[in-house]
């Protein structure tokens, strides 16, 4: 199952994507480690990426996490990952959005396009009502991506995540299904 945009498409990450996912993580390690919780060295091995993909598949089957690769339409190269996780059903019907993009492709609008595709999936197919995202206040590129995708800033979560040994504040954003559809 693939969701096509003008320049990129997203599809569920599969076992045969493990090497490309490992390359993405290794090539962007210094950048990603500035914005995500600390990862063990084993994270940067093919074996661990295979285990992660297997866990993502199980989590999708359990309706807990949906992990998509971001691929260039022209070359089918994996250039990023976009997912929603901590899916909560019942009265909430919400989740948290996470994403990363190969730094060589930053500033080209690919992530905005990928987020639009995953929001279509979240609201039309997964039946969610609300998607949330947190971002470091210093990460202006990510803030712009969320705003372009229609997310609204809701506030500041003090000391939300530990990154590089320090608890970091995060700006919290969200988008509702009705706001997403009314912008179309």
Give residue limits of the domains in the chain: 2-182
Q: At a CB cut-off of 8 Å and minimum separation 6, what does 106 contact?
A: 141
Find the mean pLDDT for residues 160-179: 94
CA angle 164, 104, 120 (to 5 degrees): 85
* pLDDT, averaged across the chain: 95
Which of 118-156 are b and which e, b meaning 16 or more Cβ less than 10 Å from the residue's Cβ?
bbbbbbeebebebbbbbbbeeeeebbebbeebbbeeeee
Residue 34: which pLDDT band, with cuts at 50, 70 and 90? confident
pLDDT in tens, 39-88: 989 999 999 999 999 999 999 999 999 999 999 999 999 999 999 999 99
Q: Whole-model pTM?
A: 0.94
2-182 topology per CATH = Aminopeptidase (3.40.630)
């Amino acid at each position: 199952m693939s969701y096509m945009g003008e320049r990129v498409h997203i599809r569920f990450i599969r076992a045969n994507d493990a090497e490309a996912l490992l390359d993405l993580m290794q090539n962007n390690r210094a950048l990603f480690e500035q914005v995500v919780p600390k990862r063990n060295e084993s994270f940067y091995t093919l074996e661990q990426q295979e285990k992660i993909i297997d866990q993502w598949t199980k989590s999708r089957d359990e309706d807990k996490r949906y992990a998509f690769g971001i691929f260039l339409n022209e070359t089918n190269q994996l250039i990023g990952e976009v997912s929603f996780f901590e899916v909560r059903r019942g009265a909430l019907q919400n989740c948290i959005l996470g994403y990363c993009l190969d730094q060589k492709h930053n500033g080209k609008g690919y992530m905005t396009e990928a987020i639009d595709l995953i929001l279509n999936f979240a609201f039309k197919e997964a039946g969610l009502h609300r998607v949330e995202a947190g971002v470091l206040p210093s990460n202006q590129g990510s803030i712009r991506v969320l705003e372009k995708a229609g997310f609204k800033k809701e506030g500041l979560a003090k000391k939300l995540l530990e990154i590089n040994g320090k608890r970091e504040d995060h700006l919290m954003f969200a988008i509702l299904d009705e706001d997403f559809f009314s912008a179309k």
